[in-house]
Amino acid sequence: MDYGMISKIEKAKMYAEERNRIQFHSFRAQIQGDNNEAPHVIGYDAGTWSCDCGFFGTRGRCSHTMAIERILSEMVELG
């Protein structure tokens, strides 16, 4: 491994430890539910969550978005 890459790896470690440097604005993810249906698509945009499951459509929250919120709890504003 070259010295340039080693310094980039060290910088990446520093950035990962200093979480206040990172702000999520939007992303999309998939999560496989318990049934055999296709994975659900979850979105996050400017503090607003979305999911293509029926429960989210009626309640505005679901197990899929709450799971991602738990994973990213220190990284995103919980809306």
Please say whether the dihedral angle defined by the alpha carbons of residues 46, 52, 54 and 55, taken in this order, is positive or negative. negative
The confidence score (pLDDT) of residue 23 equals 81
Q: Determine the Cα angle at 49 with ends 39 and 69, to 5°.
A: 80
Tens of pLDDT, residue by residue over 7-53, are 999 999 999 888 788 888 889 999 998 877 889 999 999 889 999 99
In three-state form (DSSP H/G/I as H, E/B as E, the rest C), the secondary structure along 13-50 is HHHHHCHHHCCCCEEEEEECCCCCCCCEEEEEECCEEE
Examine residue 31 and state whether it is found in any structural domain, yes or no. Answer: yes
Question: What pTM did the predictor assign?
Answer: 0.73
Provide the number of structural domains found in the chain.
1
Q: Which domain holds residue 56?
A: 24-79
Residue 43 lies in a domain: yes
Decide if pLDDT at 69 tops 80: yes
3-state SS, residue 51: strand
